[in-house]
Structure 1
Amino acid sequence: MQRKNETLNYYESHAQEFSQGTQSLQFTEIQDLFLEKLSPNSFILDFGCGSGRDARYFLNRGYRVEAVDGSKEMCSIAQKLLGQPVKNVCFEEIEEHEKYDAIWACASILHVPKVELGGLFGKLNEALVSDGILYASFKYSEFEGMRNGRYFTDFTCDSFSEFLKQIPGWQIEESWISRDVRPGRDEEKWLNLILRKR
């Protein structure tokens, strides 16, 4: 609980700075790859929406989007950007049943300790319709712990594959490594995953 509180407190106190640093980033290559797997008018959950950058992209392309975030300040910022309500929801509070066609969890659930992540993947599976997809991204390493005021669970391709074997109901449809798109951080690597509910 302390780790969660520290991470949420970080986003509460750095919300403006964080949104300014991420809102205008070009992320279209990965966004479009995700959207290619969806039917028109699909219902997307932006799970940990941050500044609302990705939710806005999906809305502008005609998709239905529900955006949520654990930080009240981030919700306020995203709500102004999107012009629609953004729910203040912590990750473990998701309790939906076959509601979404797709879930977008970009650099969000990486803040969940690995010991809790399996249960969260179970809840996300439950929230998707049959054959629904989940996009998630994690920093590419074997690290787990506090980093720059926030808790991180990192994965490599191999460690995530081993992790997912313990969780029923998923298959890895695509996985790839990308470089950080933020200025001056192109040496940082990310693990990108598209999982399919089976």
Structure 2
Amino acid sequence: MDKTIEYYNQNADVFARGTRLVDFTVIQEHFIKMIPSGSKILDFGCGSGRDTKYFLEKGYQVMATDGSVELCRLTRVFTGIEVKEMLFQELDLVNKFDGIWACSSILHLTKQELFSVIRKMHIALKDNGVIYTSFNTVILKGNVMVVILQILLKIRFRNLLKGYRNLQ
């Protein structure tokens, strides 16, 4: 993880400019339809702040976190809110969020770290909370997707995969 954080610290400006151009509106809209208006969202690995800003503009209360001090700084400037520098493994909140948004972030974890972090995410959710996470196609090769699904089943996520017909 140290090399990943080092990469983002060194390339934060280029990364932020590039990701802010990506339109995630369809996915963001689907996510916020599943949680109460104005509720609390954790942007877990907020990166450029693109999604944090979107949720704030829609009236949600957002806690933004990232492991990269430089991405935290850029997100703070971009969104106007405080951003907490922390690693995924440091999440220790209980029953706090209606939604957790982990867009292309927890994909940086090893398989061993993934179970612990997803469990912490589940604990941080309120009852009936919703988690969105995404993985690039490389991470889905082999048995990693099977491991993720097993983790989700073990902690009893309900309806997480609802609406997704094809996981190939």
TM-score norm. by structure 2 comes to 0.90
Indicate yes or no: 2:109 matched with 1:122.
no
Counterparts of 2:96 and 2:156 in 1: how far apart (Å)?
16
Normalising by structure 1, we get a TM-score of 0.77
Distance 1:104 1:138 in 2: 12
Residue 70 of structure 1 aligns with an amino acid whose one-letter code is: G
Distance 1:119 1:32 in 2: 28
**Which consecutive unaligned segments of at least 5 residues does structure 1 have?**
145-153, 179-190, 192-198
- Structure 1 match to 2:162: 174
The total of aligned residue pairs comes to 165
Contact 2:99 2:130 (8 Å CA) reproduced: yes
What is the rounded CA distance, in whole Å, between the counterparts of 2:58 and 2:141 in structure 1?
36
The answer for the alignment partner of 1:73 in structure 2 is: 70
Which is helix-richer, 1 or 2? 2
Match of 1:85 in 2: 82
Q: Classify the secondary structure of the residue corresponding to 1:101.
A: strand
1:71, CA displacement in angstroms?
0.1
Q: What CA distance in whole angstroms lies between the structure 2 residues aligned with 1:177 and 1:78?
A: 34
The answer to whether the aligner puts 1:164 opposite 2:141 as a matched pair is no
- Structure 2 stretches lacking a partner, 5+ long: none
C-alpha deviation, 1:176, in angstroms: 3.9
Structure 1 residue 112: deviation in Å? 0.6
Match of 2:15? 18
Calculate the aligned-residue CA RMSD, in Å.
Answer: 2.1
Identical aligned residues as a percent: 38
The one-letter code matched in structure 2 to 1:119 is S
Runs of 4+ aligned residues of structure 1 deviating over 6 Å after TM superposition are none
* Aligned residue type for 2:157: W
